[in-house]
């Protein structure tokens, strides 16, 4: 009985430690969409968008971005990235490949290691995401004309634009009609006045 209790306590302690170790990652990546600057990440489709336009990222570059977004403000070590990107037993130059992958990510984000807006190098440790991160499902859905569940929809701006076009198309004929009537009335008045003056002169 005591052995079973010890095993259960050990499992509970380990689970608590794991949950405590990555609270930010679990809370942030629980969202489908994450936004920073003018970028939006669709975690379900594994895509990056800039101002609504898709940015093509190689798989390892995308997963590096997700690893950093999962722990914003924290240091993601080079070893963490190596384990995430290259399974055990893969024979590559890890240091060079991590450098290349992070550089490609910075290039895609328009970022600079000297004045980082998003990815900061932490000397002798790793990298940290330093941008402002938030959830942004509605923004990306509106930009793409899709709802979060993938169904096509129209943005409010598109609907208002179409309404304006319809109203504008209807108002133009009405304006011309009124102008025509006014012109006819004025012409009739002028013609009547001219006729009266002519008759007076003739008399």
- pLDDT tens for residues 32-75? 899 999 999 999 999 999 999 999 999 999 999 999 999 999 99
Average pLDDT over residues 130-147: 64
Q: Is the pTM of this model over 0.95?
A: no
* 87-92 contacts at long range (C-beta below 8 A, 24 or more positions apart): none
Nearest to 143 by CA among 53, 57, 56, 55: 53
Tens digits of per-residue pLDDT, 65-103?
Answer: 999 999 999 999 999 998 888 877 666 677 888 999 999
What pLDDT does residue 188 have? 78
**Contact criterion met (CB below 8 Å) for 132 and 140:** no
Quote the tokens at residue 127. 């990298």
Tokens 């001219």 found at: 194
From the CA atom positions of the chain, what is the Rg in Å? 33
Residue 62: CB atoms within 10 A of its CB come to 19
Residue 161: the pLDDT is 52
What was the pLDDT predicted at 123? Answer: 93
Q: What is the pLDDT of residue 116?
A: 94
User: For position 171, what pLDDT does the model report?
Assistant: 46
Residue 30's pLDDT band (cuts 50, 70, 90)? low
192 or 111, higher pLDDT: 111
Whole-number pLDDT of residue 187: 78
Q: How many CB atoms lie within 10 A of CB 156?
A: 8
């Amino acid at each position: 009985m005591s052995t079973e209790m010890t095993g259960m306590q050990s499992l509970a302690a380990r689970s608590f430690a794991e949950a405590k170790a990555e609270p930010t990652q679990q809370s942030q990546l629980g969202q489908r969409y994450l936004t920073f600057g003018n970028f939006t990440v669709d975690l379900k489709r594994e895509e990056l968008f800039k101002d609504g336009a898709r940015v093509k990222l190689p798989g390892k570059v995308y997963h590096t971005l997700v690893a950093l977004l999962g722990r914003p403000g924290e240091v993601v070590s080079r070893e963490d990235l190596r384990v995430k990107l290259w399974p055990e037993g893969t024979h590559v130059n890890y240091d060079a490949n991590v450098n290349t992958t992070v550089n490609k990510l910075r290039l895609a984000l328009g970022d600079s290691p000297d004045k980082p807006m998003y990815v900061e190098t932490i000397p002798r440790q790793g990298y940290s995401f330093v941008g402002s991160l938030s959830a942004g499902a509605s923004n990306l859905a509106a930009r793409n004309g899709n709802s979060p569940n993938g169904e096509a929809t129209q943005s409010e701006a598109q609907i208002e634009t179409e309404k304006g076009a319809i109203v504008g198309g209807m108002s133009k004929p009405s304006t011309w009609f009124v102008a025509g009537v006014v012109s006819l009335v004025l012409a009739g008045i002028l013609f009547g006045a001219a006729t009266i003056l002519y008759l007076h002169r003739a008399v």
